[in-house]
Chain A
Amino acid sequence: MLTQLVIAQIVNGIVVGSMYALFASGLTLIWGTMKMLNFAHGEFFMLAGYLVYFCYAVLSIDPALATVIAVVVVFLLGVVVERTVIHHLLSRPVWQFTTIIATLGTSIILQNLALHLWGPEFQNVPYFVEGMLNLFGIRIAYQRLLILGVSCASIMALWFILKHTRLGLALRATAQDADAAQLYGVNILSIYTLTFGLSAALAALAAAMLAPITAVNPYMGLSPLLKGFVVVILGGLGSFGGAIVGGVLLGVVESLGVLFSSTEWSDVIAFTFLVLVIWIRPWGLFGVEERS
Chain B
Amino acid sequence: MPLLSLERISSYYGDARALADVSLEVGDGEIVAVIGSNGAGKTTMLRTISGLIHPRAGRICFEGAAIERMQAHHLIRRGIAHVPEGRRLFAQMTVRENLLMGAYGAPSWKERAALIDEVCALFPRLQERIGQLAGTLSGGERQMLATARALMARPRLLMLDEPSLGLAPKIVETILAIIQDVNRRGVAVLLVEQNVQLALKAAARAYLLESGAVVKSGMTAQFLADETVRQSYLGI
Please list the residues of chain A having a beta carbon within 8 angstroms of any beta carbon in chain B: 166, 169-170, 172-173, 176-177, 179-188
Contacts and interface: CB of A to CB of B under 8 A. Distances in A.
B172 interface: no
Contacts of A170: 101, 104
B72 interface: yes
Interface in B70-124: 71-73, 76-77, 81-82, 84, 88-93, 97, 100-102, 104-105, 109
A226 B72 CA distance: 38
A183 B93 contact: no
Interface residues of B, number: 25
Contacts of B149: 184
Contacts of A179: 52, 84, 88
Contacts of A177: 88, 90
Contact of B73 (A169, A172, A187): A187
Nearest to B104: A185
Contacts, number: 64
A180 B93 contact: no
Nearest to B149: A184
A172 B104 contact: no
By Cβ-Cβ distance, the 8 closest A-B pairs, closest first, are A180-B88, A185-B104, A182-B72, A185-B105, A185-B76, A176-B90, A187-B73, A185-B73
A166 B102 CA distance: 12
A291 B225 CA distance: 45
A187 B90 CA distance: 16
23 contacts: A166-B109, A169-B97, A169-B104, A172-B90, A172-B97, A173-B90, A173-B101, A176-B90, A176-B91, A177-B90, A179-B84, A180-B84, A180-B88, A181-B90, A181-B101, A183-B50, A183-B73, A183-B76, A184-B102, A184-B153, A185-B104, A185-B153, A187-B73
Interface of B: 50, 52, 71-73, 76-77, 81-82, 84, 88-93, 97, 100-102, 104-105, 109, 149, 153
B52 A182 contact: yes
A180 to B, nearest CB: 4
Nearest to A239: B92
A182 B101 CA distance: 10
Contacts of B109: 166
Contacts of B105: 184-185
B84 A166 contact: no
Contacts of B93: 169, 172-173, 176
A184 B97 CA distance: 12
Contacts of A188: 73
Of the listed residues A166, A184, A188, the one surrounded by the most CB atoms of chain B closer than 10 A to its CB is: A184
Contact of B82 (A166, A181, A183, A186): A183
Given A169-B100, A170-B104, A173-B101, A184 B91 contact: no
B90 A183 contact: no
A181 B173 CA distance: 29
A179 B109 CA distance: 24
Contacts of A182: 52, 71-73
Contacts of B88: 177, 179-180, 183
Contacts of B82: 183
A211 to B, nearest CB: 36
Nearest to A182: B72
Contacts of A172: 90, 92-93, 97
A184 B150 CA distance: 8
Contacts of A180: 84, 88-90
